[in-house]
Amino acid sequence: MPSFDIASKVDLQTLDNAINTVKKEIQNRFDFRDSPVSIELNKKEYIIHVEVESDMKMKQVIDVIISRSMKQGIDGNAFDFSKDAYPSGKVVKKEISVKNGLKQEDAKKIVKTIKESGLKVQAAIMDNIIRVTGKKIDDLQEVIALCNNSNFGMPLQYENMKS
């Protein structure tokens, strides 16, 4: 039976390259001269720590992070900007978490959408991936199209396609 997996993950090396590119660009920008800027990636927890001088510069750094990451092939939805920036002395700090892996409630939402579509496929949650099986590859391709058209607020990858 044909099957494939739906996953949501970010390649750590690609993310690290994107953050290093952001650091270089910020160092070379004229509007960031003589201002304290710190951008660090916690590779174990997938969290980016940003420290800048003001809220305006924080927004500029976030724009650079998104644009450079997208050029590296990381979806902009992979970043969680929900935590607000907070002042700490003379700087403003912000933690940006990177979504890596499907959470249980997100996986349930995707499976529910697949089942409500009426396609003749089975979707099962396995840890942090969803395995979709069906009798025809065409049905599986329709599931991929359905997931691409639905906005789940996270990047999805389709891997392990077996026929």
Instruction: Report CA dihedral (97, 98, 99, 101) to the nearest 10 degrees.
Output: -120
**Residue 152: its pLDDT value, please?**
87
**Residue 101: its pLDDT value, please?**
86
In 3D space, the residue among 112, 119, 113 whose CA is nearest the CA of residue 142 turns out to be: 119
Which tokens go with 98?
Answer: 């990177």
Domains of the chain from N-terminus onward: 3-8+101-162 (3.30.70.860), 12-98 (3.30.70.990)
Give the helix/strand (H/E) hosting 5: strand 3-7
User: What CA–CA distances, in Å, run from 96 to 58, 74, 83, 137, 150?
Assistant: 11, 14, 7, 38, 24
CA 12, 70, 65, 28 torsion: positive or negative? positive
pLDDT in tens, 111-142: 999 999 999 999 999 988 999 999 999 999 99
pLDDT in tens, 60-80: 999 999 999 999 999 888 999
Residue 1 has pLDDT above 90, yes or no: no
Give the helix/strand (H/E) hosting 9: none
12-28 and 55-72 helices cross at what angle (nearest 10)?
A: 130
**Residue 88: its pLDDT value, please?**
85
**Residue 63: its pLDDT value, please?**
94
- What is the number of other CB atoms lying within 10 angstroms of the CB of residue 48? 22
pLDDT band, residue 158 (cuts 50/70/90):
very high
Q: In which region does residue 46 sit, left (phi positive, over 0), alpha (psi from -120 to 50) or beta (all else)? A: left
pTM assigned to the model = 0.82
